Amino acid sequence: MTRYPANPIDVVEAAYELDRADRDWLKNLVTHLRPLVDCGLGVMAYEVDMQRSAPTASSLEVQGMSVADAAQLIAIGAAGRDSGGVAPTHLEPESLGTMLQTTKRILGSTTSPTTAAFAQKGVADAIAFRAVQPAGGPGISVLGPSPREVRIDQRARRLWARVAAHISAAHRLRRAHREAPDADVEVVCTPDGRIDDARGEGTTSSARSAVRDAVLRQERSRGPARREDPAEATEAWTALVEGRWSLVDRFERGGRRYIVARRNEHPLSDPRALSQRERAVVHLVALGKSNKLVAYELGLTESTVATHLQAAMRKLGARTRVDLIQLVSSLHRP
């Protein structure tokens, strides 16, 4: 069994704690992620708008390092972006990566003005984890500078990409929860899969069946599997159900736990009369994600994703995935 420095299911559960204040939520999330990214020099985390790739200063969270040191590293990264270089948070399409591996992939060499500037601060490499929205907007970046080169294997990258999908969904859900805590609840379910209440789209037999199955998979993931096989546990607990719902705990008086399916679709623009699912697939593919990862993030089958992608590309006149990426990028260019 592969062991991970941070437990993925612990991180996912921390992401879905919707009632925490923003700063407390980020602090708690970083505490759970820290064993993954801390290379001995501490960690920093912040909200970032991927359209600007700039941190939101008020959201900065540091653990094991000073705010001044974090600010210096952020400034170096910003200078690298402005000069066309590679910053540690520039990891598309990866959710988990390293500065040197990313620099080599993009520039063909591990040498760049950014890596040289980091080296002057005693930083040889950095692990970066991020969770972003498919059409830009606010996301989360967590950075752990390292005094030596770091390598991350593909198995870990795939696992933490699934965790990042949950954090993105939770981040989106927190904003809706703040405005209307129960407005988007469409199914209420007990941990053993019994439907207690349903409304709207959640009343159909197919929706009830999909939510029930997803709840049972989630409960298995949160049991012994979270320690015994974290990779399998994260695969079973998809980020969305049928591209529409996130599953979140809700506690009633007396401590009784329910699981609610909350509507949490990607709020994407409609470029050319695409359906909601086609839009979601297109924007996730435009981030460089594979059909398999898109299927996980939306809670759909790979064949369904492929069908939606083909239909969307036909409507948009995109012949290749590269054409699609360029088209979506132009839609969101300032």
In a domain, 191, yes or no: yes
Higher pLDDT among residues 316 and 305, named by residue: 305
Say yes or no to pLDDT of 294 above 50: yes
pTM above 0.85, yes or no: yes
Do 245 and 287 belong to one domain? no
Do 44 and 116 belong to one domain? yes
What CATH number is attached to the domain comprising 13? 3.30.450
Do 126 and 20 belong to one domain? yes
% of the chain exceeding 70 in pLDDT: 87
Do 18 and 143 belong to one domain? yes
In a domain, 172, yes or no: no
Do 121 and 221 belong to one domain? no
User: How many other C-beta atoms can be found within 10 angstroms of the C-beta atom of residue 189?
Assistant: 25
pLDDT in the model for residue 24: 95
The domain in which residue 99 lies consists of 8-163
Do 29 and 144 belong to one domain? yes
Do 291 and 223 belong to one domain? no
Question: What is the Cα–Cα distance from 111 to 323, expressed in whole angstroms?
Answer: 30
Question: What is the Cα–Cα distance from 218 to 257, expressed in whole angstroms?
Answer: 14
Do 19 and 77 belong to one domain? yes
Stretch 16-20: mean pLDDT, rounded? 93
Q: Considering its fold, how many domains does the chain have in total?
A: 3
Segment 31-53, tens digit of pLDDT: 999 999 999 999 999 887 655 55
Do 85 and 149 belong to one domain? yes
% of the chain exceeding 90 in pLDDT: 57
pLDDT in the model for residue 94: 66
Q: Which amino acid is at 215?
A: V
Do 159 and 25 belong to one domain? yes
Q: Which residues contact 117 (CB under 8 A, 6 or more apart)?
A: 76, 79, 80
Stretch 3-9: mean pLDDT, rounded? 80
In a domain, 176, yes or no: no
Segment 53-96, tens digit of pLDDT: 555 555 889 999 999 999 898 888 777 665 555 555 444 556 89
pLDDT in the model for residue 1: 40
Do 203 and 319 belong to one domain? no
Do 76 and 194 belong to one domain? no
